[in-house]
A and B are shown apart, each in its own frame.
Chain A
Amino acid sequence: MPPSLSLTDLEPLHRLADKHARRLCRSLHLPAHEAEDLRQDLLTDLLARLPDYAAERGDLRGFAATCFKHRAARLALWHRRERASRADVSLDDPLPGGEGLTVGAALAEDAGYGAWVGQPTDRIAMLERRLDLERAGQALSPDDMPLLAALARGDANAPAQAGLSRTTAFRRVQEARLQLLAAGVSSAA
């Protein structure tokens, strides 16, 4: 990297990166706000390559333009691959020969988006779990409620929230766990 390179030298490169990013955005039919990310990507790539720049072989703008062009080509390829790996189908699209059925209606609940993001998919199991918890909840001591509520909220300092020492809180959680186990909530194990 030339030791004399200053922010003033880099200023035209920002405009050049802008231009390449907007062009890439248009060619990939991306929303306009994506241009900012692409611009950052192009500039980061250029910064990584600047140490290889030799002033005697050409001016910095030409070097940057080549870097941007190559990086843009790679980004375009990556975006196209991403798109090709996804089905361009809407859940509301009708199924071919489905007599009014949509794509969404043909997807099983355990193969849907909820399952993919880790949500429970079996409604009957959810209902049974709720009933189990309602029954098991009676086994818990009312004194433990503030502590358990603080834990359920995910408070970092749940014992202090419940006005307990850490040792007492740990003992009570252990007790509640055993009570839930005895009440049939196996997930408390």
Chain B
Amino acid sequence: MDTCIPDIPTAAAPLTDVALCKWLGAAAPGDCITYHRGFLARDISPLTQMLPEPDRVALMRLAGRAWKLADADLAHLLQRRHGDEDYEYLIVARRRPRRADPRVLARLLKEAA
């Protein structure tokens, strides 16, 4: 079931890449949201012209961002099949590392000093 976070109104459709990141930043492990419904590979293809160009570009960014988040081990990507070329694309928040490495921030602050 999708998780709505009342404080993040931008997590409602149409979802953008920024809203997706914002949602994930506030999400608890296991929280889930649908970021697209349809057939993603077809919808983002410039050849099929399934969506107007601005919407297609926005969807491509969103899908690319979801992939990067999964690649960074912050989320899982899932699909739920509803019918022929009708899929629900889900992103599920993963557990974050408990211990932070403070060296990164220290290095950034040191460089900025």
Q: Which A positions have Cβ atoms within 8 angstroms of B?
A: 130-131, 133-135, 137-140, 145-146, 148-150, 152-153, 178-179, 181-186, 189
Contacts and interface: CB of A to CB of B under 8 A. Distances in A.
Interface residues on B, range: 20 to 34
- Which are the 7 A-B pairs with shortest beta-carbon distances? A149-B111, A137-B104, A152-B112, A181-B21, A135-B100, A184-B25, A137-B105
Contacts of A152: 108-109, 112
B52 interface: no
Contacts of A179: 21, 72
Contacts of A146: 111
A179 B101 CA distance: 16
B84 to A, nearest CB: 33
B17 interface: yes
Interface of B: 17-18, 21-22, 24-26, 65, 69, 72, 74, 96-97, 100-102, 104-105, 107-109, 111-112
A170 B26 CA distance: 25
B17 A178 contact: yes
Given A182-B24, A184-B25, A186-B25, A138 B104 contact: yes
A149 B108 contact: yes
Given A130-B105, A137-B100, 8 more contacts: A135-B100, A137-B101, A148-B112, A150-B112, A181-B21, A183-B74, A189-B18, A189-B22
